[in-house]
């Protein structure tokens, strides 16, 4: 699953994890159609919404959420009939598909699909987007969890995830305080076929790996702002960027001389998409919304204002050949987090595995 509250520094409208309804203007009693949108902060900027309303002669009722849990509560209530279109990551999308909450996307009604980068047009290559031979969502934005490094301390971009374990950087490494992604990182160093599916024999090795990581790390962070402060105060050399390009923009904006690298094992990456609910009231209007959000004005704002990548243009900080490992549901998220809490607290491997 994607990083919890990964967009915290973009918007704090929903600090308690509750959805916040933000109608662009009060819905009148007239016959003007209303499109009900559920999205993350920064995905539907005011000027983008306004232009859509003017072009299509409709009103947009925008609801903002900031956690996957809040999204699930809203989209699963009343069998998704409260919304027409919503933004969701590929891992959570699979849960919505299983519960019959989404409708296939009518690609013929979305001409801007042709503007997407080839790897995003090929939806069959992205696990979780196709069901029953039909595309269930349209890729919109993404961020890979690469490595941010201090150019003054590390002259050449790190090539591997194993750099986080490199004893040359002991006490100058920052890592994300999250069990799910940490075990996936360990799985990547182990060369497993999937970093999201640990087998019985894999757990002890992964635990040993993460205990070694704990010993190499100066501090663990939860939010982007915290990582910035730690990077400066600890004079860090290397940072596992759980928030990807958003963190890169944040650190560069603070005047730090940093670089960004995608490791050869591939960077864990979340991919958010636009999906249409099973309870959609106007399929054509929902399709028009997705098409509008894939247009240049919306895509440009996504990159320049939010620091996120667009599926229509290659980001400057990465290369087309960089490998991204799209997040998938893990085998046991609760177990990963229980073990991780013990690892961070300093427990030995035997006690971690017994948890």
Model pLDDT for residues 326-353, shown as the tens digit of each residue: 988 899 989 999 999 999 999 999 999 9
Q: How many CB atoms lie within 10 A of CB 119?
A: 14
* Helices 179-189 and 202-216, axial angle in degrees (round to 10): 100
User: How many angstroms separate the CA atoms of 82 and 97, rounded?
Assistant: 17
Examine the pLDDT at 121 and tell me if it is beyond 90: yes
pTM of the model: 0.78
The CATH classification number of 20-142+270-320 equals 3.40.190.10
Cβ atoms < 10 Å from Cβ of 327: 26
Percent of the chain whose pLDDT exceeds 90: 77
Q: What is the mean pLDDT of residues 220-239?
A: 95
Q: Decide if pLDDT at 132 tops 70.
A: yes
Q: Do residues 163 and 238 lie in contact, with contact meaning Cβ atoms separated by under 8 Å?
A: yes
pLDDT tier, 308 (very low <50, low <70, confident <90, very high otherwise)? confident
**Which whole number is the average pLDDT over 135-144?**
95
Every domain of the chain with CATH number 3.40.190.10 lies at 20-142+270-320, 147-261+327-353
- Average pLDDT of span 313-325: 83
8 A C-beta contact, residue 57 and residue 32: yes
Task: State residue 30's pLDDT score.
Answer: 59
Is 3.20.20.60 the CATH number for 147-261+327-353? no
**Stretch 243-271: mean pLDDT, rounded?**
94
Least confident range from 28-32, 242-246, 275-279: namely 28-32
Q: At what angle do helices 46-56 and 283-293 cross, to 10 degrees?
A: 140
At 164, list the tokens.
Answer: 């986080």
Name the average pLDDT for the chain. Answer: 90
């Amino acid at each position: 699953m994607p990083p919890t509250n990964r967009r915290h520094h973009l918007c704090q409208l929903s600090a308690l994890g509750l959805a916040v309804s933000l109608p662009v203007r009060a819905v009148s009693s007239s016959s003007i159609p209303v499109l009900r949108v559920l999205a993350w902060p920064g995905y539907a900027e005011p000027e983008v919404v306004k232009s859509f309303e003017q072009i299509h002669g409709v009103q947009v009722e925008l609801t903002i959420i900031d956690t996957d849990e809040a999204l699930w509560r809203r989209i699963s209530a009343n069998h998704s009939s409260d919304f027409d279109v919503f933004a969701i990551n590929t891992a959570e999308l699979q849960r919505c598909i299983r519960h019959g909450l989404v409708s296939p996307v009518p690609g013929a009604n979305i001409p801007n699909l042709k503007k997407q980068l080839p790897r995003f047009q090929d939806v069959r290559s992205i696990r979780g987007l196709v069901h029953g031979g039909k595309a269930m969502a349209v890729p919109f934005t993404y961020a890979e969890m690469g490595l941010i490094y201090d150019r003054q301390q590390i002259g050449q971009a790190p090539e591997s995830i194993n750099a986080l374990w490199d004893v040359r950087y002991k006490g100058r490494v920052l890592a994300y305080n999250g069990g799910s992604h940490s075990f996936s990182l360990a799985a990547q160093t182990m060369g497993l076929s999937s970093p999201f599916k640990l087998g019985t024999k894999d757990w002890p090795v992964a635990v040993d790996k993460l205990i070694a990581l704990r010993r190499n790390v100066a501090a663990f962070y939860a939010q982007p702002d915290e990582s910035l402060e730690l990077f400066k105060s600890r004079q860090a050399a290397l940072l596992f960027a759980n928030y990807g390009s958003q963190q890169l923009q944040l650190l560069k904006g603070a005047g730090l001389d940093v670089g960004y690298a995608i490791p050869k094992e591939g960077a864990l990456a979340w991919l958010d998409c636009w999906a249409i609910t099973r309870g959609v009231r106007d399929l054509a209007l929902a399709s028009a919304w997705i098409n509008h959000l894939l247009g240049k004005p919306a895509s440009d704002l996504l990159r320049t204002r939010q620091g996120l990548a667009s599926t229509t243009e290659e980001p400057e900080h990465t290369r087309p050949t960089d490998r991204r490992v799209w997040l998938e549901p893990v085998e046991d998220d609760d177990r990963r987090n229980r073990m991780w809490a013990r690892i961070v607290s300093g427990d030995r491997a035997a006690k971690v595995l017994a948890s």
